[in-house]
Amino acid sequence: MLTARLFRPLSQLPGKTLSLCDREKGTRRMQLLYSASPVPVSLRTYSDEVNPVGSKAVLVTGCDSGFGFSLAKHLHSRGFLVFAGCLMKDKGNDGVKELDSLKSDRLRTVQLNVCKSEEVDKVVEIVRSSLEDPEKGMWGLVNNAGISTFGEVEFTSMETYKEVAEVNLWGTVRMTKSFLPLIRRAKGRIVNISSMLGRMANPARSPYCITKFGVEAFSDCLRYEMYPLGVKVSVVEPGNFIAATSLYSPERIQAIANKMWEELPEVVRKDYGRKYFDEKIAKMETYCNSGSTDTSPVIKAVTHALTSATPYTRYHPMDYYWWLRMQIMTHLPGAVSDRIYIH
């Protein structure tokens, strides 16, 4: 009965408002809103802000598309001086062209591969030289750049594990260490984009989960260390926004699957068989066709983390199903959550 209830589609859930907590006039209250439609729930209302934002500089990584692209445009509209780090700027990416087409002196795209120290160092100098007073530092860094893949542990090569970690985890660490001197001078903000899969693991997602769990731990350590220095560190944990971020197309899923199968050791192919392999790929395709196409909950969360006088430690822009699942998997004994969601 419990399993049946927890797996009920969102369309069958009655719309409700749960009073949990929010911040207003020094009190802590929150409205947890969830509706019958499968859209991200609004976990918090955002009101308190740091003013003015016009003189504040923010660097966002991974702005070629997805969250980063939308965030760069939104922060620019809010009055920030935005440096949009783009992996494909040198290749004339469409997202880069659209950002450049705004022709604003407050929005500048920069070539940035977070895996390359020389490109990171170059961007540090670009930002420093663009600030009115470098000694007052830079207000915000949003570590958004990331890649994803899938595959069970025996299906995933060590090269794939290393590739995903180099971007998602070590890229975040590299960017943070490089920009901390500027952030510290401004007593600014660091916002790391993690994932709900940085709090709860999932079959066939170990390369991604490992890196996002790492981002969570890194962010916590950094928050503890930066607190006495006046720097605030927040983590944003989006739910399923694959449909909105174009991480996976059917063609890309199939290309990854074909490459994975071809590179499998013979003993693994023989033991599992193609039928089992294809069933797992079909599940991944189903998951990738789901999720929200509206990125605004993520954008609002990052904006609040950058502008609030009292930003939250963690933000959970996700629909009610994933929010509930995350609470159960992180608060109940593993034997219980495994029984409900995994076995």
306 close to 58: Cβ distance less than 8 angstroms: yes
Question: What is the Cα–Cα distance from 259 to 246, expressed in whole angstroms?
Answer: 20
Residue 242 CA: distances (Å) to CA of 11, 151, 291: 20, 16, 6
| Cβ count near 293 (within 10 Å) | 10
Question: What is the Cα–Cα distance from 250 to 253, expressed in whole angstroms?
Answer: 5
Q: Is there a catalytic annotation at residue 312?
A: no
Residue partners of 241: CB distance under 8 A and separation at least 6:
67, 291, 292, 295, 298
191 close to 236: Cβ distance less than 8 angstroms: yes
Distance from the Cα of residue 275 to its chain's centroid? 33
Q: Transcribe 35-53 into DSSP letters.
A: -SSSSB-B--------S--
Computed from CA positions of residues 323, 168, 303, 108, in that sequence, does the dihedral angle turn out positive or negative?
negative
Q: Are strands 16-19 and 31-34 parallel, antiparallel or unpaired?
A: antiparallel
User: Which has the closest alpha carbon to 113: 179, 162, 167?
Assistant: 167
Question: What is the Cα–Cα distance from 91 to 169, expressed in whole angstroms?
Answer: 25
Residue partners of 275: CB distance under 8 A and separation at least 6:
none
Q: Which of 34, 46, 161, 208 is catalytic?
A: 208
Residue partners of 279: CB distance under 8 A and separation at least 6:
none
Question: 26: burial class by Cβ within 10 Å (0-12, 13-18, 19+)?
Answer: exposed
Encoded tokens for 125: 């100098």
What would you measure as the largest C-alpha separation in the chain, in angstroms? 64
Catalytic residues: 208
